[in-house]
Amino acid sequence: MTHIGTPTSRVDGRAKVTGAAKYAAEFNADMLVHGCAVTSTIAKGRITHIDVSEALRVAGVIDVLTHQNRPNMARTDRSYKEDVAPPGSPYRPLYDDRILHSGQPVALVLAEEWEIAKFAATLVKVEYNAEAHATDLALERGAAFEPSKPITRGDADKALAAAQVRHDAEYSLPIEHHNAMELHAATVIREEGGKLKVYDKTQGVMNSQKYLVSVFGLKKDELRVLSPYVGGAFGSGLRPAFQVVLAVMGAIALKRSVRVVLTRHQTFGLPYRPASIQRVALGATNGGTLDAVLHDALSITSQYEDFQRNTTSWAGALYKSPHAKYAHKLAKLDLATPGDMRAPGGACGMYALECAMDELAVKLKLDPVELRLRCYSDRDQNADIPYSSKKLRECYTQGAAAFGWDKRRAAPGSMREGHELIGFGMATGIWEAMQMKTSVRITLTANGHAEVACATSDIGTGTYTIMTQVAADMLGLPLANVTIQLGDSTLPYSPLEGGSWTAASVGNAIAVTAQAVTRELLRLAKKIPDSPLKGAKAEDVALQDGRIVSRSDPSRAVPVADAMRQGEVDRIEKTSAAASNDDGTRARYTHSAIFAEVRVDEELGVVRVTRVVNAVAAGRILNPKTARSQVMGGTVMGIGMALHEETLIDHNFGRYVNANLGEYHVPVNADIHDIEVIFVEEPDEIINPLGIKGVGEIGVVGTAAAVANAIHHATGKRIRDLPITLDKLLSSPSA
């Protein structure tokens, strides 16, 4: 293969840096109307009166929509269900007078200009009948419920009580919000005949299209969703967000094109990573093998939906233990339903588990890497099946060598330079390697150009580029001869972009479709008199350099143009689907080992993460350049989890108080130093024909734990409540 596995610059890079790439809020139309949402100031209750008269008097304001005058919307819950909706009753924007959480939209001001709409929105007066609300997870622990039965193996409680060495502690994480660079926005262009072309910030155009058609009672061909470029989403675009509903609502009401852009503050009313309190209890032998693992989680959900992700059973996919128990409870709060945020469940659960493993290593006086190797499992303990591939040992070995782990002194606080304490910490990462059913259309023309079309999204991960690489190799073309069409609900089927499954799913769909193109070309080539490919089968040939070539004898070849000329066609078009080949007999995961160095100011408590080495085993890496960027980005988000990110609530009002980038802290350039990414070679002939696993999530999983463990090694202080801020460090006694 010429292109797969080769570091390749983004094919869409020039469009992005020149501004040619358009995002949801950048598409224009004649007489475009601008909408600004008005959001609730209470957390629970009902609207008793809305006065829009002052807003309507502002020159340039066209209308103000509320639950009282909006266009018709579906009445049943099933009409609002979409591909990733959790159990419960989905939220319906501007549907009625009920307030389910602070920050939900209660009105939409529509005006000729954005500044006018934004100003007029401040003039809308809303009166409420407020009810008592609950937004504090700690206060609602007693009312939590189990949405599913615990996963058990053996008798974990009994084994824990009998263990020679025990560790039992509680770890907590706050709410975190995605805060991608691009604000959530939607531009709805009303076309001739009343059809709607919707440009939306979304991770799934087909999901959004299906949802909007259902909500507004439209025919499938009356509404099309496009999302050619997304400025980061990290899970915030999986479910249709309320801005697209409001924009469509405005377009239907006014019979004009409408754009709605949420403010940064309003994006905090969208799904988020839920706060959680986790208990991890480990029972071990003096020799450092596990007898028992207990992992319980309590996380938040809304009053109207039950959102849950796998937080607790990751130990069973990593470490041997004859006894285990994994349980998860939910507490219903008067907040919006949580959602998926990069490595949902995994990033949170692995933080608690890997900190607990580090604490166990301290008790056992074992090197943290050595403890993990002694507990290493060659089978998935949860399903009791082997792995399709697992090169985690190699991750430990290569990561430790690159980091210089052998220079670590075991005693906490024993390494320093001047006034800074130095700490080395490590952790394991794991994420599922999934493949979803996806369809691709390839159109190959006689002049040697191919268009590859799929409804999948590129949320900044480099999907345009890896699709180009795979197609170029499968079709034997240079990269410049391949054009990618994606992010359009009229294109062949694709699921949501998420879960690190897109590269594997669309990559294999391209390969399958390219085989169909090859078969058709071979059929035409055989029609040539005295064809050098006479008698050849499809599996015997490949497309190379614009020719159909015998794999066994490259001298036997037919130019593609000649084959098409013989068939009297100027283009070949094929659409095929590829689904997962997972038959349940092999566990499929990506793995990583993260090593972090921190420096802590002994007097001020300021923490700097000065070095990170992230060694990743993720099957075949399609593009080491963009894959490295993905892992680096995930690592930065993991540092953010560990030290910076926290959404704060004033529980008196049930309202977020730092819903802006001035007070919601994310890592910036000065916070990030050296990050080295190592890709461990991991051939995998089982997972899919191309051996692809995906790298979008694995970079963040385990990183927060590695940083927390390094801080303990530097200071002797164990902070189990993220983020680890200087006030917690200064007030905490040494362990």
Per-residue pLDDT tens over the stretch 62-74: 999 999 999 999 9
Mean pLDDT of 173-182: 97
User: Partners of 198 in the beta sheet?
Assistant: 188, 225
Listed in order, strand segments (DSSP E) in 446-546 are 450-453, 482-485, 541-544
Q: Which of 305, 354, 359, 697 is catalytic?
A: 697
Report d(CA 684, CA 438) in Å as an integer.
Answer: 21
Instruction: Provide the pLDDT for residue 357.
Output: 98
Phi-psi region of 714 (alpha: psi -120 to 50; beta: other; left: phi over 0): alpha
pLDDT exceeds 80 at position 735:
no
Q: Which two tokens stand for residue 473?
A: 């190799």
Q: Which two tokens stand for residue 261?
A: 């852009």
Per-residue pLDDT tens over the stretch 465-489: 999 999 999 999 999 999 999 999 9
Per-residue pLDDT tens over the stretch 626-683: 999 999 999 999 999 999 999 999 999 999 999 999 999 999 999 999 999 999 999 9
- Identify the H or E element spanning 558: strand 557-559
Decide: 288 and 366 in contact? Cβ < 8 Å: yes
Task: Give alpha helix (H) positions in 26-178.
Answer: 53-56, 114-121, 156-162
Contacts of 710 (CB under 8 A, 6+ apart): 423, 424, 425, 596, 597, 598, 609
- What is the pLDDT confidence band of residue 734, given thresholds at 50, 70 and 90? confident
Q: Domains, the chain, ranges and CATH?
A: 17-132+181-233+237-267 (3.90.1170.50), 343-432+588-731 (3.30.365.10), 435-578 (3.30.365.10)
Decide: 594 and 613 in contact? Cβ < 8 Å: yes
Per-residue pLDDT tens over the stretch 58-116: 999 999 999 999 999 999 999 999 999 999 999 999 999 999 999 999 999 999 999 99
Alpha carbon separation from 523 to 478, 508, 517, 518, 566 (Å, rounded):
24, 23, 10, 9, 10
User: Partners of 111 in the beta sheet?
Assistant: 34, 61
Cα 596 to its chain centre, rounded Å, is 23
Is 192 catalytic? The answer is no
Decide: 175 and 277 in contact? Cβ < 8 Å: no
CA-CA-CA-CA dihedral for 660, 662, 667, 670, to nearest 10 = 160
Alpha carbon separation from 18 to 12, 439, 463 (Å, rounded):
10, 31, 19
Instruction: Provide the pLDDT for residue 382.
Output: 96
Instruction: Provide the pLDDT for residue 326.
Output: 98
Mean pLDDT of 551-568: 95
**% pLDDT > 90, the chain:** 99
Contacts of 27 (CB under 8 A, 6+ apart): 187, 189, 199
Instruction: Provide the pLDDT for residue 75.
Output: 96
pTM: 0.97
The residue among 13, 2, 1 whose CA lies nearest residue 626 is 13
Other CB atoms within a 10 A radius of the CB of residue 401 amount to: 14
Instruction: Provide the pLDDT for residue 1.
Output: 82
Q: 703-715 vs 624-643: helix axis angle to the nearest 10? A: 50
Which of the 8 DSSP states describes residue 43? S
Per-residue pLDDT tens over the stretch 403-428: 999 999 999 999 999 999 999 999 99
pLDDT exceeds 90 at position 161:
yes
Mean residue pLDDT across the chain: 97
pLDDT exceeds 90 at position 193:
yes
Per-residue pLDDT tens over the stretch 570-602: 999 999 999 999 999 999 999 999 999 999 999
Q: How wide is the angle at C-alpha 452 spanned by C-alphas 506 and 439, nearest 5°?
A: 40
Instruction: Provide the pLDDT for residue 366.
Output: 98
